[in-house]
Every structure is written in C-alpha cells, then in structure tokens.
Structure 1
Amino acid sequence: MRIRATVAAVTGALALSALAVPAAQADGSASYRADVAKVREAAGHTGAGKSVYTGKTGPTGVPYDLDVTFSGVKVNGGKAIPVGTTKQVTIPVTYTLKHGADVDITADDFLTGPYLYKGAFDTPDNMLFGDYPATCTATSATAASCKGDIDIYPEDLINADAGAWKAGALAIAYNGQPQNGNADLSKVGYADQGGFTSPNVQRYSRLTVNASPEPVKKGKTVTVTGLLSRANWDTAKYAGYTAQSVQLQFRKKNSTTYTTLKTVKSDSKGNLKTTTKATVDGYFRYSFAGTSTTPAVKASGDYVDVK
C-alpha cells in the first residue's frame, strides 16, 4: 500500500505510519499490513537492513536486530508489471532467506514477505506490500526458499510512480508477543533488506485502429486512424499518450506476417492518423514498442477489402 510522504519534512519512518488498507481488504490482510507498518516504524531501519539496535533485546519499544538475511529476490519472473486503473495486480516473488540457528522460522508468529519501493530505501516515496506474508520451505537448518505475492492496487499509485522500482524483503519474529495488541517491541526481532532488482511498474496501455473506407478501390487512398492511451493513475482513467512513435503495419489476407509501412507520431491527445495506398486485401494495425513507463501494445488488425 502507499506509504507516501506528502510533505518534504515527513521522514521515511513517519511515512511508514501512514500504511493503510482499502476497505475491500477488510480481512486478514489488514492485520499483516498493520503489523508490518508498526514494526518497521518502531525499528527506524537505517537502510542497511538493520534496526537501530542490535542484540537479543532492544530498548523500550524498539525491535532488536533479527539474524535474518535475504538473497536471490526475483520479482514477477523479471517481467515488467503493467497496472491499469481498476484491477488489482498480484505479482509473484521468490527469494532465499538465511537465518541464525536460534531463529525459528516455523513459529506461527514468524512473518516474512517481499515488497517494492520507489525512491530511496531509507525514505521511500511509495511502497507496495502483499496482502499476506510469504510462505517458506526449509532447505537446510539455517536457510529457506520463500514464495510470496505483492498486491498492487491502482489507487496506491500516482503517475510519477511509473518506471523503476527496487525490491526488498523483511522478517519479523514476535517471539510470543501479541501481534495485534500491546506487544513489547523490544522483544520482537526485525530484519529488513532492500536494493534488489525489480522490473519496472508500468502504466497499462491501449491501442486502437480503424482503416477506411471499406471496401476500397485498388490504388485509392486508405485513411488509418487510431488512439494510443495509457492508464492515468492520478485520475483513475485512461488518457492519450502524446508524441509517441507508432508503426503502421499491414498483413496480406492469407499471410501471418505484418510488415511495417511507416512510423506515425501520436498527437497532443494520443490520436494517430495517416494515409496509404490500397493494393491488396489485408489487415492494417498500429504497433507501439513501449517505453520504460508504458508497455508495448499492438492493435487488433482492421480488415480492408480491396476491389
């Protein structure tokens, strides 16, 4: 969920307290997210994956540094993450967890999970967590293979979030302390580690095409229009993607291969328009290669009968 500092004076630790859960998630996920937010804020992590105190018991209200490290974090199989305007997007994450011999990762109150963050690790602009903790399978006495999800809701994003993110993973050992009550956080262990590679989070794209007239006489002009748009997370609507290069492509009626005819620029509203000569029956489409913030997209071919 969004943990966004809306004013420059708000520190990363304070921003973490703003962790919220949509009403649609009024279930066990609310508990996990709230637990993570409370412990992260109390730990005041330094960005090196350590809490402000190391030892088995921290100062009053401060978690101790849990002997857990993470490696091999892989987000969504390395594929970019397009997010639209309404639908939740759940992406899988795998990672390796290593721990000290005295850390019981099988305890009911041991939690671990992945997350994404935008900006600096110490003071992230935004963070995205899973609704539930990850599950881990021991591979040795001090290591485990973990799988978890990150649940992304469009309302937790703004347009400036599109592009590069980093991944992290955390672990919390409550050691018998109440998770949803007045836990003595000095007896709670906490580990947090960031800086892992993540694919880009992108604004979902759409592309349309219309070729006319239909039918058309051979040698006459065909006008091909279209619209390139993408998710606008600020307004929860789709808006034209302006000044982008888009290829006009053509496929003959009995062929399976498209050939690029020309490149067209989208206008100030994302509209596309160009003309070409009619030669044979076939399909016209627009094709957009994508950018770091917006995925590639191809329109469905529009058939034109040439007389």
Structure 2
Amino acid sequence: MKGKRPVQAAAAATLGCALTVVWGPGTAQATGTPENGISFYNVVFNDGEPVVIGTTNTVQIPVTFTVKSTAPLDWFRVWAYKGTLTNGDALNDASEWNEDCRESKAGGFYFYDCDRVHDIDPRSERLNGGKGLINADATSWKVGATGVRLGGGFDDDHLSTTVQVKRYDRIRDMNASPEPVTAGKAITVKGTIQRANWDTNHYDGYSGRRVSLQFKPAGSSSYSTVKKVYSGTGGTLSTTVTATQDGAWRWKYYGNSTSGPATSHGDYVDVVQ
C-alpha cells in the first residue's frame, strides 16, 4: 500500500497513514459488525457534493472520516470502487494524497480523525487498465474501507453511502449581439455546450440539453432566467430576445445524473433608448 507507515499510539499526534481517495455525497457508516474492533464513521466525501471531472485537469477532492479501534492501527484507507469490495475497480487508483490524521484515545479506544485533500488525474494510467477514466465511470460508485492493526488483524467494510462521479460540462462561444442595440430590436444570443468525453480525452458537443438563458440588468448583482432553449446538433445554442435595458446575458445549464452544471461568461449589451 502506497504511503503505508506505522501509526504510533500517541494522543493528539499527527498520523502518517495511507488513505486512498474517496468522493461523493453524504456521510457513511460501516455496515455489519466491526471486525477486529475496527470501525469507520463520519465519512464525508467532497463536502457532500458530487465530483465533477474534466478531461485533463487534476481535481482536488476533500475527504474527512474517523476510525475507531480497540488497538493501535498500522494503516487504514477509505476508497470508492465499482465491482466487488475485494476485487473491484478502485476510483482511488487515479489519486495522490497527503496525510493529515489526528490520533486520540478515550474509553479504551483509539480514534483517528482524518481531514485530507486528494488529487485525481482523469488520465491516470492506474485506472481501467491504463485507460484512465472512461465514460461509463460517470455513475454511482460504492465506498469501502480497510483498517489493519499493529501486530495483525484487519477489517474490510462496505460503507452505507455512494459516490456520484460526473463528467464536466462547459459552455463556449457565448455571444450576445449586436452591441450596442436599439431598444425594441432583437438581440441574438449564441453559444455551444460541450461535455467531457473520457473515452477520447476531448470535449464533444452536447445536443438535446435544456439550457437557461439568463439576464442581469445593469446595476444588479444577480441573474434571472428569461427563457429556456434546447441545444442543437453539436451542442449549439441560439435564441433571440427583445432589447429593453442595459445588462449582461449568459447561458446556464444545471446538469444531470452523469454531467455537472455549466455556466458561460456574461456578455454585456448596451441598449440605446
């Protein structure tokens, strides 16, 4: 196990132990009876939010959890996987991690409170037999945990939560024209919505998406939805609105079960009264 180091049983110490990356919504508790006096709880992935990953950029993922044990632990980990607990494809295989765990002892138990940040590389050769992430990975992953005691004995747990991993969406080529425009005339707003394709490591046009056109009047701090448009072939977006006042236009997509949300930049249009 990468990063494996002995854990010293000293109260309030910072631990050096191995942890593989985990992500997704919710707080997890171990299912079944803890083995060898080891249990995991208060497991929180990515601050309770789905993990949205693009084609190239490494994404940092926070994870917090607590391990409770009747004896000092040699190492422990929590990870997301598909397949079986003991022979599955681990999402953590694309990760690197730092180590930040605090140890304490109370009531005859050892407690390890961990607060960590992990990096995931979508192109990691350690995932899917060298392929990195593939499109089928945009789904709900299960979560497992392992703890190993100093001197022998371990516990493998399937935790009662899932990790939702999504493909990154983006909106490009945002443009509202003409600029300036006479009040009462038409403004044409265009753009293109794209989705990460992990199979090819490129972004493809995302057709058939219901995308909101939003407007922020001059002097305002917030956008509101004016109309909704479905993206066409290649993810193209296009619609017209009537010019009434100065302000910024943008596109916003709220995502779905396999794709994250996306927001374009705002394009300001002067309206001549």
Distance 1:87 1:303 in 2: 29
Quick check: 1:124 aligned with 2:124?
no
2:13 maps to which residue? none
Answer yes or no: is the 8 Å Cα contact 1:96–1:143 preserved in 2.
no
2:190 maps to which residue? 225
> Any idea what the Cα deviations from partners look like across 1:181-208, whole Å, max 9, x if unmatched?
xxxxxxx533221233244211122123
Say which structure is richer in helix. 1
* Distance change (3 Å), C-alpha of 1:29 and 1:158: farther
Quick check: 1:144 aligned with 2:114?
no
Larger Rg: 1
* Equivalent position to 2:133, from 157, 165, 176: 157
Distance 2:266 2:207 in 1: 22
Distance 1:224 1:255 in 2: 20
2:153 maps to which residue? 189
SS in 2 for 1:70: strand
* Equivalent position to 1:113, from 52, 77, 84: 77
Answer yes or no: is the 8 Å Cα contact 1:94–1:145 preserved in 2.
no
Quick check: 1:282 aligned with 2:247?
yes
Distance 2:57 2:224 in 1: 34
| 1:95 aligned partner, one-letter code | F
1:298 maps to which residue? 263
TM-score (norm 1): 0.68
TM-score (norm 2): 0.75
- Percentage of pairs with the same residue: 37
1:246 maps to which residue? 211
1:78 maps to which residue? 48
Number of positions where the alignment pairs a residue of Structure 1 with one of Structure 2: 238
- Tell which deviates more after alignment, 115-124 or 224-233: 115-124
| 1:146 aligned partner, one-letter code | D
Distance 1:115 1:150 in 2: 11
SS in 2 for 1:165: strand
Answer yes or no: is the 8 Å Cα contact 2:145–2:159 preserved in 1.
no
| 1:124 aligned partner, one-letter code | G
Kindly report the root-mean-square deviation, in angstroms, between the aligned alpha carbons of the 2 structures: 3.0
Shift of 1:248: 0.7
In structure 2, stretches of 5+ residues that fail to align are 6-17, 21-30, 124-131
Distance 2:193 2:239 in 1: 14
2:59 maps to which residue? 89
SS in 2 for 1:196: strand
